[in-house]
Structure 1
Amino acid sequence: MFKLLAIISVILIAFTFANAEITSVVQTGKQIVVTYTPGTISWIEQSLVLQGAKTNIKPYCTNNGSSPVTCTLPSVPACDSVRFLGFSGIGGPTFDFVFPIQCTVVA
């Protein structure tokens, strides 16, 4: 019985993390909203990327431990993607999400 429960748990966990991704990024003026799955991730890094150069936006982002993350920036630089790096908990997997977006530059 224990083996069956362990196998089902591993399959369920693997299926959950296999579908982990940023599902959408929406920019409205100086605000960027990032929606992702699974719903609970602790973020270590949040950045906008332009040709490999990262701009740290973490100080401007709010997230109560669940999706979505809302970032209200003082100005929006040019970017070609959004990169989030985080983990699901102690001993859990690390997530490195990159999502393509063409930022509208707002001074």
Structure 2
Amino acid sequence: MDATLTPFIGLEFAARKAHISGKPFSRMPDMIPARFANAIFGLIMSGLMSCIVTGIATVKAVGFHPETLGDWMASWAFCWPIAFTVILVLGPSVKRLVEGWVRPQG
């Protein structure tokens, strides 16, 4: 048997077993508990926003050159933890502020 295919044999067996038992086969780990939803949202949102903003700011400040990508990634690595912290700290206050401005659906 080809050694490169060996890891897939176990997956195929598990998939067949799951199909037979009627349970869906998934390699995904258990879901993250709901109590972490705000932190996960903050992590993803801060990552995306800080990536976009630092990319724009880096190109505006230094222009396009061979080191631009490295400068951008260094700036992003510095800014992402700050953005994440700000979202975690100020997020609940901003949510309450917005809830005071909008009319409930009903």
Normalised to the residue count of structure 2, the TM-score between the two structures is 0.23
Q: Compare the two structures and name the one with the higher strand fraction.
A: 1
